[in-house]
């Protein structure tokens, strides 16, 4: 009978995400992921076969679990808009330096240039859109947003605002990313 795995694939994929933030996907090595996960590079090779396969597994997992943060925030907040802001705070917390943003954008480059990664990125985008639309629809139903709100369009604008605000912060380095992102979202919602 095989020995149970001391480190789960989920733990390894979470460690992969942290290592991507620290090194970017191009410079990433199995040794760096292994150090982050507490396993040997040989273990990673045995489970995933190659760095590319590990990155694809990471991308697939990210797509599959893209809405989890939104669901968790919604469970923790009575207000759908408060949940949306909590998700924004979490995104801002994850982007600690411009270098982390650059390293995360390295995955976007893979997503855009490689069809295998693009498939997962598209699924990730659809899941985020659906999660945002669900929160916004609940906000409309609870009268936090006007009944005339174009839900799909606002969901898209929220995602664009979130990504753009954090990218702008990374480029300028000015201010606290969480405060800037909240301010940009406030501005977006005030215009409704």
Mean per-residue pLDDT for 26-53?
96
Arithmetic mean of pLDDT, 2-17? 85
- Separation of first and last alpha carbons in the chain: 61
pLDDT range class, residue 149, cuts 50, 70, 90? very high
139 pLDDT more than 80: yes
The residues, ordered by sequence, that sit 6+ positions from 46 with a Cβ below 8 Å of its Cβ are none
**How far out from the chain centre does Cα 136 lie?**
19
Compute the distance between CA of residue 90 and CA of residue 177 in angstroms, rounded to an integer: 11
Please state, in angstroms and rounded to a whole number, the distance separating the CA atoms of residues 105 and 20: 10
Q: Are 123 and 65 in contact (CB under 8 A)?
A: no
**Percentage, residues of the chain above pLDDT 90:** 94
Q: How many CB atoms sit inside 10 A of residue 25's CB?
A: 24
- Domains (ranges, CATH) in the chain? 9-58 (1.10.10.60), 66-190 (1.10.357.10)
Comparing CA positions, the residue from 99, 97, 67 lying closest to residue 84 is 67
Q: What is the pTM of this model?
A: 0.91
Only one residue has tokens 């990664």, namely 117
Average pLDDT of every residue of the chain? 95
The pLDDT score that the predictor gives to residue 155 is 98
């Amino acid at each position: 009978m095989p020995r149970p795995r001391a480190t789960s694939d989920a733990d390894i994929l979470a460690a992969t995400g942290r290592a991507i933030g620290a090194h970017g996907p191009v410079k990433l090595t199995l040794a760096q992921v292994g150090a982050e996960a507490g396993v040997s590079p040989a273990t990673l090779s045995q489970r995933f076969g190659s760095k590319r396969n590990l990155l694809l597994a990471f991308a697939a997992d990210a797509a599959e679990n893209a809405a989890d943060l939104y669901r968790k925030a919604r469970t923790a907040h009575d207000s759908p808009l408060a949940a949306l802001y909590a998700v924004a705070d979490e995104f801002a917390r994850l982007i600690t330096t411009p270098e982390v943003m650059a390293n995360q954008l390295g995955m976007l480059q893979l997503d855009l240039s490689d069809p295998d990664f693009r498939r997962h990125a598209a699924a990730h985008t659809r899941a985020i859109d659906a999660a945002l639309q669900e929160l916004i629809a609940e906000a409309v139903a609870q009268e936090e947003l006007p009944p005339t709100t174009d839900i799909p369009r606002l969901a898209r604008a929220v995602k664009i605002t979130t990504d753009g605000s954090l990218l702008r912060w990374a480029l300028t380095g000015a201010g606290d990313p969480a405060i800037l992102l909240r301010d940009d979202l406030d501005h977006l919602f005030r215009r409704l």
